[in-house]
Every structure is written in structure tokens, then in C-alpha cells.
Amino acid sequence: MKAATASRTPDNKIAYLTKQLGVLTGLALITAFVFSQIKLGYDFHWAVLYEVNPTYGERFGIWLLKGLLLTINISVISAALALVIGTLFGIARLSTFKPVYYIATWYVELFRNTPLLVQMFFWYFAFPVLLPDTVVAYLNAHNFEFTAAAASLSIYTGSYIAEIIRAGIQAVPKGHIEAAVASGLSYVQMLRYVVLPQAFRIIIPPLGSEFLNNMKNSSLAMTIGVAELCWQSQQIESFTFKGFEATSAASLIYLMLSLFISACMNSVNHHLMIGPARRLSVFDRFIAGVFAPVKFLYTWLSRLLAELTDIITEMLPQEDPDNPVLPRSVQLFYLTLGFIRVVLKLITLLGIIIFLFFAIKGLWHLNWALMSANLRALLIWTFPSGGDGEFFYGMGGLSLSFTMAVIVICCSFFIGLFVGMGRLSANPLINTPCISYIEIIRGNPLIMVIFWVYFFSPILTGMQMNVFWSATIAFIIFSGAYLAEIVRAGIQAISAGQFEAATAAGFTRFQIMRYIILPQALKIMIPAFVGQFITIFKDTSLAYIIGVFELTTVAQTINQRIMIYPFEIYVSIGLLYFFCCYFMSYLAARLENRLATAPAAAL
């Protein structure tokens, strides 16, 4: 820890990066040698991606590029819409008008606590049931798959951006706001010159992470027929039976796209950083040049807004400081302003009441008998009287999702613990493989990791693994990378002085980690672990892709059998996921508050 956190001079950094590159090259050569020497019973044929296929007359690599363009398209559109939605609901979460606050809170909690895949199925399969046939026909004739995917991504990502916007605005010290008011700034001027510049710097880093997650989540659009990158890789597999090559190429493209987005967001952070001026890299200057028109437009609009604000302020009736009695024109202006505010609140309240009326009416007319009749299947499937071909006596549905999540969090904890500590090592032989594992896994969508395990396990073992264990292993590998970052952050949160004091007291490195660092770090990490468990529980819905009979697969099976009640089916599983995730989120918040107040109580 001490060596890992010590500062390095530029020459030392170059030497250290050279060692890491050497280790990475060595790992790549060893991996290539092992694959070339071991007979895996699989004929690797990478030329399938760039040669013209004699059967179909196609270069399948072009298909991947077309999928990449569609991935970028849906990611940009959904990110822009999510930013608008998140901004509106984030500000609404700060409203003192309780109906608006509660509606915004319900939106955030509902869509954050249900899996994206379920939301995508709802908008694509269930929502059209509520629309007139002419509207449905129009949507189907105009690429409804893309529209449903973009809408679900926007609404889902918007719920996370809303919390980022709210937290960013609340992070501005109240003293700054009070000082701005005392200085005579208007509300608009206070937002323009005091609140938003500070909130913007706080919001940008997590906002970049959400844009990156939104891009990776776009891979789920393949489940409703959008021909994005992941869908194209599976099409190549179905046409050529070369799933390993297609999945590898798609994974590499996702990784490069993720690294590029991360580099762009880091460059933006360098430009917005407060403190001593730092030397900008060539890439930072390139990004500055790319965004120069945006900066110019923002500056021009800001000046225009400031001038309009000053003009409007001058046109408004002013108070006379020497006369405590307000002029009649000023009184009339404030009365009119108050009246408009009351009318807007009444209109908003009326809209909320109408919305709730139709929502309750719709829920009242749902086929609750159908939902009740299938509840047992959604919870446990056919357990404990399942057939010979079913997994674990027919366990499925919600119980299998929860079981899978428990197995994943228990196993991935140890991977995350060792990889997280390995990343902090000063030895390139240790930290380079750990960093590579974390970046490769985090740079790819979970669905690609599932395909990797599903396609790679038969090549490596010569036998087809049960789909439950294929999905579980993929979740463990994926979650281990995220837990490793949680562990790294937890360890780095401990003061380096404690490490140095323990070293001076004669403790070995193992004893320091065992008795001093890890106990404190684990306490810090507990809320993050609980949050990761909730994420894993929602992610188990992706096991549907390879046929695991978890909750989403069971719902799809029931829907295909009944055919005419998709709304009831997807509302049912949405509520099941919501209640489970919301309850766990509530426990996580309680646990975090308890851990935060424990030291104060001890004192």
C-alpha cells in the first residue's frame, strides 16, 4: 500500500509504464502460445471476419461495423433524452411542492429498482396493448424496436442521472447561496454564476460514467431485435458457427469504445479541474478542439441569457429603499407573480390527479386472477416437483434469481478482494494482470461476458456446461471486477499513516492488512457491497439470454403460453423485482446510516 500510493517522478512513471507494457506483452505471448499448443477441438478461423464468405457473399466484419454505427446511434439518442429527463426529475426532487417531489421520487425509485431488460420487454411487448391499433400499426411500420429500445434506455438512465443532478446541486455549500442572495444577485444570476458552475464540476464525472453504462446497456436492445453490435455478432455466429471469433471481435470493439469514452470524460475532467493548472496532453488539446464549437455556443448563449436577464430586471418595477411602503405597481406585480405560481401549481396538481386516476383505473381492470394463478410459477417455477431435465428439482423464477445472486456475491467477493489488493501492489507482475482483468471486464457489457463463458466453456472443457452455471460463472467474473474497484477504494480510504505506524511497530505486511487495514476497509465497503448485490440481483434477468429459468425467462414462457395478457405478466415481474430491490435498498440505507453514526455513538 505504501509503495502503491507513493508519488512518482515523470521518469519513474515512464519506467513503470514500460514495465507494465512488458508484462502485458508477455501475458499476451504466453496466452497465444498456450492456445496454439493445446488442442481444444475447435478450428479457429479469424478470416471469417474479413474474407468474403463463399456461401453468402458477405464480409461479416462489415456487419459488425454496421452494428457499431447503430450502437453509437442509439447510445447518443438515449443519452441525450436521458439527460433531459434526468435534469427535469433531478430538479423536481428538490422541489418544495410535495406532489412534484413525490412524483419525481416515485419515478426514480421505480425505474432504478427494476431491471432494464424487464423495462425493455414492457415497452416493447406490454405497452402497445394500451394503444389504438392504428398507432401500433404505425409504430411497427417505423422501426418500433429501435424506438422502444431508445425509450427504455432513456427512462432507465434518466432515473440515475436525476440522482446525479440532485446530488450535484445539493453539494453546493449553502453559505455560497446565502452570500449570493446577500450580494443582491437575482435567482437566475445566482444559478448562472454561483450554483451551476460548481454543480457542473461535481456532476460531470458521474455523468460520464452513466453515459458509458448507457452505451454498454444498449447491447440489451438485441433482445427485441435491434441490429446493434451484440446482435450482429450473434448473427455471424448463427450463419458461420464461429461464435468465438464473432464474440471476440465484438468484445474488442466494445472495449475500444469504452476506453475512448472514458478518455474523453477524463479529458473533460482535466479541463474542469479546480486547483493548480496542470499540463494538458495532446489528447486533451484534441478534445478541446473538438468541443470548441460547443464551448463557443455555450458562451454566446450564456451572454445572451445574461443580457436578457438584465433587460428584464430593468423593466420590472423596482422597490424604493427610502420608502418602506411598496408602490402600487410593485404590489400588483408581486400579486400577479404569486397568482401565476398558484395557477401553475394547481395545473400540475390536476395533471397528477388525472394521471393517478387513469393509473388506478388501469390497475383495477387488470386480470388479477391470471396474475394470482401464475404467482407460484413466478416465485419458484415447478419446485420441488420438477422433472429430471430441470435444474435443482425445478427451481426457477424469483427463487432461482435470488439463489444465483447469493452464489455470485459470495464467490465474487474473494475474487474482488484479491484482485483489488493486487491492483494496489507496486509490483508490475502483480498489478498488471489485475488492471487488465478489471479494465477488460468493465469495458464490456455483461451480455458479452455471458456469451464469452457460454461459447468458451465447450471449447475449453469439451462439454456443454449447464446454462445455470454458465450464467453464474459469467456473473462472478463480471461482478468480481466491480468488487475489486470497491475493495481498492476502501483500502485507499484508510490513512497511509496507519500503515506506516504499523510498519514502525514491527507488523509484517500480511499482519497489517489482516489486523489493521482490511477490518476498517471492509466496514467502509459494506454499503457498496450491498449495493452491488442489488445490482447483481437485477442483472440475473440477463440469464434469460441463454435460457436460464430465472424470473424473466419464466415470465416470457408464461406470456408465450397465454399470448393475450402481456401487460399483466410484465407488471407482475416488474413489481416483484421492485419490491425486492427497494427493500434491499432500504436496508442498505439503514446500514449505511448506522455505520456512519456508530463512531459518534461510541464517543
Cis peptide before 384 (omega within 30 of 0): yes
Sequence spans of domains, the chain: 1-38, 48-272, 366-597
- Please state the separation of Cα 468 from the chain's center in Å: 24
pLDDT in tens, 506-546: 888 888 888 888 888 888 888 888 888 999 999 999 999 99
Lowest mean pLDDT among 313-327, 330-344, 544-558: 313-327
Mean pLDDT value across residues 1-20: 62
- Please state the separation of Cα 52 from the chain's center in Å: 38
- Percent of the chain residues topping a pLDDT of 90: 38
Mean pLDDT value across residues 148-175: 92
pLDDT in tens, 387-431: 767 778 788 899 999 999 999 999 999 999 999 999 988 888 888
Mean pLDDT value across residues 452-466: 80
CB 49 within 8 A of CB 250: no
Any idea what DSSP says for residue 172? Answer: S
Q: Please spell the DSSP secondary structure of 565-585, one letter per residue.
A: -HHHHHHHHHHHHHHHHHHHH
Q: Is residue 18 very low, low, confident or very high in pLDDT (cuts 50, 70, 90)?
A: confident
Q: Is residue 28 very low, low, confident or very high in pLDDT (cuts 50, 70, 90)?
A: confident
Instruction: Look at residue 454 in the predicted model and tell me its pLDDT.
Output: 87
Q: How far is CA 532 from CA 93, 217, 345, 476, in A?
A: 24, 17, 39, 12
The mean predicted confidence, pLDDT, of the chain is 85
CB 490 within 8 A of CB 529: no
Instruction: Look at residue 275 in the predicted model and tell me its pLDDT.
Output: 58
Instruction: Look at residue 316 in the predicted model and tell me its pLDDT.
Output: 59
CATH value of 366-597 in 3.50.30.10, 1.10.3720.10, 3.40.50.620, 2.40.30.10:
1.10.3720.10
| pLDDT surpasses 70 at 7 | no
Phi, psi dihedrals of residue 183, rounded to the nearest 5°: -80, -5
Q: Three-class SS of residue 336?
A: helix
Q: How far apart are CA 40 and CA 340, in angstroms?
A: 74
Alpha helices in 428-548, H assignment, sequence order? 428-442, 446-461, 467-492, 496-504, 509-512, 518-539
SS3 assignment for 50-88:
CCCCCCCCCCHHHHHHHHHHHHHHHHHHHHHHHHHHHHH
**Position with higher pLDDT, 584 vs 588:** 584
Residue whose entry in the numeric block shows the C-alpha cell 498489478: 431
Mean pLDDT value across residues 273-295: 73
Residue type, 457: S
Superfamily of domain 48-272: MetI-like (1.10.3720.10)
Instruction: Look at residue 274 in the predicted model and tell me its pLDDT.
Output: 62
Mean pLDDT value across residues 80-87: 93
Judge whether 48-272 and 366-597 match in fold.
yes
Instruction: Look at residue 358 in the predicted model and tell me its pLDDT.
Output: 84
| pLDDT surpasses 60 at 6 | no
Q: How far apart are CA 230 and CA 228, in angstroms?
A: 6
- Percent of the chain residues topping a pLDDT of 70: 90
| pLDDT surpasses 70 at 95 | yes
Instruction: Note the pTM of the prediction, 2 decimals.
Output: 0.88
Nearest alpha carbon to residue 191 among 206, 161, 169, 173: 169
Q: How far apart are CA 308 and CA 254, in angstroms?
A: 45
| pLDDT surpasses 90 at 79 | yes
**Position with higher pLDDT, 235 vs 296:** 235
pLDDT in tens, 170-210: 888 888 888 888 887 766 677 777 887 788 788 888 888 99
| pLDDT surpasses 60 at 481 | yes
pLDDT in tens, 558-571: 988 887 888 999 99
Q: How far apart are CA 588 and CA 262, in angstroms?
A: 29
